[in-house]
Each structure stands twice: as structure tokens, then as C-alpha cells.
Amino acid sequence: MIPLAEARAHVLQQVAPLASTAVAVGDAAGLVLASDAVAAELVPPFANTAMDGFAVRAADTIGAPVTLQLVGTLAAGAAFEGTVEAGQAVQIMTGAPMPDGADAVVMVERSTIDSASNRVEIEIEVEVGNHVRRAGEDVTTGDLLFRAGTVLGAGHLGVLASVGLQTVEVIRRPRVGVVSTGDELVDDGGVLQAGQIRDSNRRTLLTLVAEAGWEAVDLGIAIDEKETIREAFISGAESCDAILSSGGVSMGAFDYVKVVLDEIGSMRWMQIAIKPAKPFAFGMVDGTPVFGLPGNPVSSMVSFELMARPAIRTMAGHADPFAPRLLAISEDSLTHPPDGKTHFLRVEGEPDESGRWYVRRAGGQGSHQLTAMARADALAVVPDEVEVGPGDEVEIMVLR
């Protein structure tokens, strides 16, 4: 068995960020910026009012209350043609551009309009710039908005939209193929024949890929037959940036997956000192990374989290590919008999009011017992010969 860190290093040194490409800002959510984003416009583009009220000359409000002559009304989106002269005011709505001549805004709550005489009484003295949002106060031309490597979220895309960017240079969204291997697998919903089971790994892995924001490509079930397996991996390598396969990486006698992958690729077959997900394979087929995940349903998910997700995140341009780890208090005993492995236990939990996490077993911990994994909020990380009793601290990897 090799340590998890060694297996990860082996995989991570063979993957690299994908090529960059220009995509519409509207399609860039979750992608990683490939070059610095620089502003070519001001935000706000012009000085405007932050309040509904009256645009005035601040000097006119000295000695308030004062009465000013109304010379116009300005909604957001409109522009005032003239100039506000001494003794004049323009009624103005939030976001409307400051009229020439005016240098402050008096909020509507501090003024009384007299429509009959077309005048407004201003109750308070205001200073120059009062409630005025200056042009370029958020962004000025040439500003470095976000550096290459930034993961684009809602706020980032909003800023890019605010400076009028239509497209943005990002690392391409990975296309990830998912194939299940094994003669026992069916997925048609029919009556199970002797020895058959339903393929669940493909569903979970396709969903994990989609949830990560990557493009999931269903490569189907490859039965344990050399030509079928070869065809699945060769066509998968052609159309995808990475392939996740499950099954056939352990010691089974009829697993042609090994034979075929050794023929068409450069695979390393590993036994990692973890439980679940000890068997794992990684290599390249025609330059495409292939992750050979174990067949047991919990193992394939844990293997995805520990091995495939960090590698594909790296391909997607993420600088820090690993999931954050937290310290939690365990309500159950999580100690395991010494076996040389770090155990990743499926736990449910939540933070209390002070933010401290409390976790407990999410159900049966067998690698075939997917329900506990489905219910789990986190994996508790218990190294060999480390005792975790009720009330003890344990490291957790949060899954959601």
C-alpha cells in the first residue's frame, strides 16, 4: 500500500490546466479566469444621485431652510439639457445623472415641494458631493478587476457585465466521460437476472461531475469483454478531457479492464492506504487522463473525492484543488482496529450556534452501503491507530 499523499502527487503531476478560450460572460459561471480582467470603462459611468430628491448647488443651501426654483424633473435613464443656476433645483430620481451646475443632492425626505409655485423648500444645509456617486467611484478605466486564476462567481460576472465585457478568457470547462465496467451491471429497469445488479456508479459519478460544473459525458456500461472495453476507452479519450471508469481495478479474475488499459494506456495500478477506496488506477490513454475508480459504490465516490476531483479541478485551472478540512467533535466512537489505513467514515453533522461542527455516523460503513454516503455531510478522517471516542475532536472533509 502507498500513502494517499503519494498517490495524489503521482496523479497531480500528470495533469495540467486545459487550454484557455473566450466564452460569453453569461456562460462563464464557475470557470477560472485565464488572463487578468481589466476595465475598459468607468463604473459608475457618470456622476449620479444615490437618492431620490433634489439636485442643487450646495452653496444655495447655506442658511437653510431655503426655497429654490424647480427647473426640471429627471428620471434614471434621462439627461438634463440645461444647467442648474443659482437658486434653482432639479427633482431627481436615484441613478439619474447629476445635471450640470448641481453639485449635491438633498433627499426627498428633507424637502417639501410646492407644485403650484413650482418651488421646493430645502430644510437642511448640504455639502458639495452630498448623495452624489462620482463617475468611476467603483471602477476606473485600466483597473485590474480580477487576476488570472480567479474562480468566476456571481459577483465577478456582475462586475464584468458592469464594464460592458461580452466575453472573457477562461480555462475551458472540462468534459468528463463516465463509464461503468462489469458483466453484472444493468441499467434498463427490468427484472434482475441471477447475479445481476443495477449500475449505480454511473449515475452518482455523472451527477458529481455535473454538480462540479463540468460537462458530463455518459459513456455507458462496458461489459467485461475486451473489444467493448477498448472501444469505450478509445472513443472516450477522443471526445473527453478525462475519463472516470468504475470497477475492474481490484483483484478480480475476469477483469479485462486491466488488460485492455495496459494495452492502450500507461496505467499505474495502486493500492492506497485508505478505507474505503483502496484500489485505484491512473494513467493516460491517448493523452487523456483515465481515473480507474473502484467498483464498490461508496469506494467510487470516495475515490472521486480524494483522487479525481482534485485532479480535474487542477485541469479546470483551480490553484487550490483540495477540499477544505475542518475540526469537528464526534458524538460516536470512530476508532478502527489497526490496519495501516486512514479511514474516511461517512458522517452526518452540522455546526452549532458557535460554529463548531458535531458529527455522527451516517449509517452502515460498508463500501457497498451507499445510503450512508448519500446521507453524509462529511467524511471523518481517522488515521490508523488514532482513537476517536465520543466527545473527541476529529478532522472532517465537508462534502456539501
Contacts with Mg ion by CB under 5 A lie at 182, 247-248, 295
103 sits near ligand AMP (criterion: CB under 6 A): no
Q: 60 or 199, CB closer to Mg ion? A: 199
Number of residues that bind ligand AMP (CB under 6 A): 19
How far is residue 87's CA from residue 392's CA, in Å, rounded to a whole number? 74
Rg (CA), the chain: 31
111 binds, among ligand AMP, Mg ion, none (CB under 5 to 8 A by kind): none
Q: Cβ of residue 278: shortest distance to ligand AMP, in angstroms?
A: 11
Binding mask of the shown chain, residues 135 to 174, with x at each position contacting ligand AMP by CB under 6 A? ----------------------------------------
Among the listed residues 17, 53, 177, 182, the single contact to ligand AMP using CB under 6 A: 182
185 binds, among ligand AMP, Mg ion, none (CB under 5 to 8 A by kind): ligand AMP
180 binds, among Mg ion, ligand AMP, none (CB under 5 to 8 A by kind): ligand AMP
Q: Cβ of residue 351: shortest distance to Mg ion, in angstroms?
A: 39
Helix or strand (DSSP H, E) at 328: strand 325-330
Cell of 363: 449509517
Number of Cβ within a 10 Å radius of residue 285: 21
Amino acid at 72: G
Among the listed residues 61, 150, 250, 342, the single contact to ligand AMP using CB under 6 A: 250
Tell me if residue 259 falls in helix, strand or coil.
Answer: helix
How far is residue 32's CA from residue 318's CA, in Å, rounded to a whole number? 7
- Whose cell is 444615490? That residue is 50
CA distances from 161 to 16, 39, 105, 172, 260 (A): 29, 11, 28, 20, 49
Q: Cβ of residue 35: shortest distance to ligand AMP, in angstroms?
A: 40
246 binds, among ligand AMP, Mg ion, none (CB under 5 to 8 A by kind): ligand AMP
- Whose cell is 455518459? That residue is 218
133 binds, among ligand AMP, Mg ion, none (CB under 5 to 8 A by kind): none
Among 369, 394, 363, smallest CA distance to 381 is for 394
Buried b (16+ CB within 10 A) or exposed e, 296-328: bbbbbbbbbbbbbbbbbbbbbbbeebebeebeb
Beta bridge partners of 111: 122
Contact 241, 229 (CB under 8 A): no
Q: 17 or 248, CB closer to Mg ion? A: 248
97 sits near ligand AMP (criterion: CB under 6 A): no
User: Considering only 45-53, 193-201, 350-358, 373-381, which stretch makes contact with ligand AMP by CB under 6 A?
Assistant: 193-201
Tell me if the bond preceding 337 is cis, omega within 30° of 0.
no
296 binds, among Mg ion, ligand AMP, none (CB under 5 to 8 A by kind): ligand AMP
Q: Do β-strands 288-293 and 242-246 pair in parallel, antiparallel, or remain unpaired?
A: parallel
Binding mask of the shown chain, residues 296 to 335, with x at each position contacting ligand AMP by CB under 6 A? xx--------------------------------------
Tell me if residue 234 falls in helix, strand or coil.
Answer: helix
220 sits near ligand AMP (criterion: CB under 6 A): no
283 binds, among ligand AMP, Mg ion, none (CB under 5 to 8 A by kind): none
Residues 195-214 contacting ligand AMP, CB under 6 A: 197, 199-202
Contact 98, 159 (CB under 8 A): no
Binding mask of the shown chain, residues 277 to 296, with x at each position contacting ligand AMP by CB under 6 A? -----------------xxx
How far is residue 317's CA from residue 33's CA, in Å, rounded to a whole number? 8
Amino acid at 29: A
Q: Do β-strands 20-24 and 167-171 pair in parallel, antiparallel, or remain unpaired?
A: antiparallel
201 binds, among Mg ion, ligand AMP, none (CB under 5 to 8 A by kind): ligand AMP
Q: Cβ of residue 187: shortest distance to ligand AMP, in angstroms?
A: 9
Q: Which residues form the interface with ligand AMP (CB under 6 A)?
A: 180, 182, 184-185, 197, 199-202, 246-250, 252, 294-297
